[in-house]
Amino acid sequence: RFPYLVGMYGGGIFLLFYILIIFIIAIPLFVLEMALGSASQRGPVGAYRELGKGKPWILNGYLNVFAMQLLLGYTMPVAGWVMAYIFKTGMGTFQAMAPAEIGEFFGAFIGNGPEVIAWSSITVVLVVLIINRGLNKGLEFANSVCMPALFIILTILIVRAVTLPGAVEGLAYYLKPDFSKFTANAIYDCIGQAFFAIGVGMAAAIVFGSYLKKEQKSLLTQGIHIGTALLLAGFLSGLVIMPAVFAFGLEPAGGPGLTFVTMPNVFNQMPFGTFFGVLFYILFYLAALSSWLGGAEAVAASYMEEFGLSRKNAVYLTATVMFAIGCASSYSMGFFDIADNILNNSLIIGGLVLSIFVGWYWGMNKFFEEAGITSQAAKTAFTIIVKYLAPAIIIVLGLSMHGIFG
């Protein structure tokens, strides 16, 4: 999703603004959410209910859970795509294909709803099994082994991608600023992508904060580490994909499926391409699985808290809704795009309400105490961002998107 947004919205200028949004708005709001969970020892609905003293703030908790459940569902087909490509790459399916044929293959594959659902169902089953048997070990493995390994593989692939004929044009498209494409819509989508990447407004940070022990509350440090790693992963993926897109004459605005069209071409041009291809998709899958697990844990915890369900039944409910939404998404890319747009708006609204709630209702001093922030400079920066900057940017952009400012 990130690389094609960068290319579509002005390359380097979008990238620069995205980095600023990550560090100036997304990470601070992520830390706010962890603090709410830590202070309340509740999920998103319970946190807003307790800290908001029963007032309408609780609606943002419901919005958070809705956003994460929607994300789990409509991205379920993507899990199926990756799982299928692990096996198809290993069997050499793409080795004899020309670039255009690989694109046609992907189009036909995602148009086959039953096959996509079959592959996607594997992830739903894994989510249920892992969360019911011990989430922490699975997440620790993904974070400590899979993510570093994925970065190493990405680095190797970057070296190959940027040395392909025509790759320089792809790098220019990805990195060179094009101010004519950097519109209000670009900024709005930039904020939505930043919130999507970090996980702002999707329940997980609040639930994660509620699980932290008192001695683990270096919330700002954890937020910076998570945000930086996710930013780097997105940026590096673009350095692989965009040079390859131009090298093989593909459409740079081809959408989220670019990874599944460009990467087989790259692997076809590499020594031991099948090995690297299988390894790439396995690591890609495991890294993504850690996000699905964290999201499913957040939703299940909320269902347990709100409906009094046992852990097992809450996990089954989460997986059932995930599967139902995923089936609709598997049969219609139109549904996928609509759900993606709904999520984007939900995250931005959730981030706005979060900043107003903490900045103007719960109070910055309570936040500083909970997050362990003692530096006066950090306090001043957070106060400006949370009370003024973040709400102002989101409101002005929201009004601009509806033509208020022309």
Residue 318 in this model has a pLDDT that exceeds 60: yes
- Residue-level pLDDT at 139: 61
Mean pLDDT of all residues in 346-364 = 95
Contact 207, 37 (CB under 8 A): yes
List the domain boundaries for the chain. 2-401
Question: In this predicted model, what pLDDT tens digit does every residue of 238-260 receive, in sequence order?
Answer: 898 888 888 888 777 666 677 89
- Residue-level pLDDT at 85: 96
Contact 6, 18 (CB under 8 A): yes
Question: In this predicted model, what pLDDT tens digit does every residue of 379-394 receive, in sequence order?
Answer: 999 999 999 999 999 8
Mean pLDDT of all residues in 31-43 = 94
**pLDDT-based confidence at residue 65 (cuts at 50, 70, 90):** very high
Nearest to 261 by CA among 85, 133, 44: 85
Please give the Cα distance from 142 to 124 (Å, whole number): 17
Contact 311, 62 (CB under 8 A): no
For the structural domain made of 2-401, what CATH number should be given? 1.20.1740
Give this prediction's pTM. 0.90
